[in-house]
A and B are shown apart, each in its own frame.
Chain A
């Protein structure tokens, strides 16, 4: 456990000056900031629709969730998984890392855990900023109805699902970036995967959930469909979330053996 903790801290220390780390913070800030700005400047147009509290929150949060779940999240995950591993590829530091008196599995697990943590931070900030900017807009534009409904539970559930449904992509990209030191291969495969994911999820192919890249989109789609039921009752562990978790677990183990073999060369 100590090995894992030490390696995790070192991962943070190494990457705290890289774009992968800052993107986890800047991305939610910029996107939520832009949406809030839009809702502030075009408040009159939006007020015309006379949304009730829940619908307003729904419209407001899906602006971020839609862009995020479909495009930005997969691309951020690709870039981040690449970056966490590339730090060692680029500097040729795998050998140094593995000649430290630390358990090999801990070093690997810490890297994976760190990537997952960055994703969690990013998604948590999205949730937090959506929530807080909603109330900020209410204060700035008193005619808004954000105060009529508390979105805390539903927002947490949405983003929790999004996080869990992204772990599949994270694992695929993590393993690809372990194998290849260059940017193009994992990025190219990820790009094709994402496009395929969006298409299959949107045309409603019944096996789409088996493609990890469609899981985030599917996770959000189902929640949209179930909006007539009580939204707070939305289940988190749906089919695509389980598939994503299964991909995550299997590839996490596969990645370790790939890394062990890599070092033999």
Chain B
């Protein structure tokens, strides 16, 4: 058995002459929460549609739990639950009826519907028409629909879209529960890194159809080099002193000077140097570029 829940090998997809997915090689390890990141229009939804066989993929490019997707469409789909773009809900049916309909299609026990409603906190709205649900409620119902068959692999396309902070936290906790307690694998797409950096174990960054980074969240963090932030009473003099000392100045913004981090000892000697020259050092410390900026850096490269 493959150790990947999803593996794509040199996957390409075109809409007419426009390449939407280019040579994509995703590797989503089993049991991971894989954050699939990219700006709007990067090809995230197209990729998810390819993974669900909604769009035809070339032979031997998409593997779900080690099995080729086109050859094993039904068997693969049985292991997947999905939420693609806006949740697809029958507006004239109630939340519960939407779930029962899915139970019919999947041939599972209808009592699962009640269970799922409780899981996503929609028990009270069970008999309300789904068309009258708020965006957040629809999103929850969409997640319930994706989870109802208890799939091994979940594909969630921007699942926290339209949810309030509370709802976002709930979904986050639910995702963590599903992977840690139930051994599920989740691929979750987003255009906001901040949204998934706390839950994802692995990250793939896509832009214009190309995969720019793939690895663990730790590997992503290690990409960003730390800097030293120094705050002093006289910034101009400090900058002069530092440059004449041969220190590279990265930038001077918001009343602080940023220089590259080279080690604790260097940081200490720079501190003494400034003080010896009669300056008052308010603060000196390392700073790591946040992932959000890193994400922007990576996606702006191509």
B92 touches A99 (CB 8 A): no
From DSSP, what is the main secondary structure of chain A's interface residues?
helix
Nearest residue (CB) in B for A99 is B52
Q: Are B84 and A91 in contact (CB under 8 A)?
A: no
Q: Does B160 have its Cβ within 8 Å of any Cβ on chain A?
A: no
A90 near B101: Cβ-Cβ < 8 Å: no
B53:A99 contact, CB within 8 angstroms? yes
Query: Quick check: A14 and B93 within 8 Å, CB to CB?
Result: yes
**A206 at interface (Cβ–Cβ under 8 A)?**
no
Of B55, B74, B104, which one neighbours A10 at CB under 8 angstroms? B104
Q: Which one of A2, A92, A265 lies within 8 Å of B88 (CB-CB)?
A: A92
| In the complex with contacts A87-B90, A91-B88, A99-B54 CB distance below 8 A | yes
Please give the distance in Å from A213's CB to the nearest CB on chain B.
30
B91 at the interface (CB under 8 A from A): yes
Contacts of A90 in B (CB 8 A): 91
Pairwise interchain contact A96-B74, C-beta atoms closer than 8 A: no
Kindly supply a per-residue 1/0 record for chain B positions 42-64, scoring 1 wherever the CB is within 8 Å of any chain A CB and 0 otherwise: 00000001001111100000000
Minimum Cβ distance to chain A for residue B110 (Å): 11
Are B77 and A101 interface neighbours, CB within 8 A? Answer: yes
Known A13-B100, A99-B77, A264-B56; judge A7-B90 contact (CB<8 A): no
Write the nearest CB–CB distance from A85 to chain B, whole angstroms.
13
Q: How far is the CB of A221 from the nearest CB of chain B, in Å?
A: 39
- A67 interfacial by beta-carbon distance below 8 Å: no
> How many residues of chain B have a CB within 8 Å of chain A?
30
Q: Is the CB of B105 within 8 A of A102?
A: yes
Instruction: Judge if B89 is at the interface, Cβ distance under 8 Å.
Output: yes
Any A CB within 8 A of the CB of B249: no
Most chain A beta carbons < 10 A, residue from B75, B80, B84, B88:
B88
**Pair B105/A91 contact, Cβ less than 8 Å:** no
Docked CA distance A103–B105 (Å): 11
Partner of A14, one of B49, B55, B90: B90
Q: Is B78 an interface residue (CB 8 A)?
A: yes
A92 surroundings in chain B (CB, below 8 A): 85-86, 88
Decide: B104 and A13 in contact? CB cutoff 8 A.
yes
The interface centre, meaning the residue of A6, A17, A100, A265 with most chain B CB atoms within 10 A of its CB, is A100
Point out residues on B near A: beta carbons under 8 Å.
15, 49, 52-56, 74-75, 77-78, 80, 82, 84-86, 88-93, 97, 100-101, 104-107, 145
A positions within 8 Å CB-CB of B? 2, 6-7, 9-10, 13-14, 17-18, 87, 90-93, 95-96, 98-103, 263-265
Give 11 A-B contacts (CB < 8 Å), ordered by A residue.
Answer: A7-B105, A10-B104, A13-B100, A14-B101, A91-B89, A95-B49, A95-B88, A99-B53, A99-B54, A101-B106, A102-B74
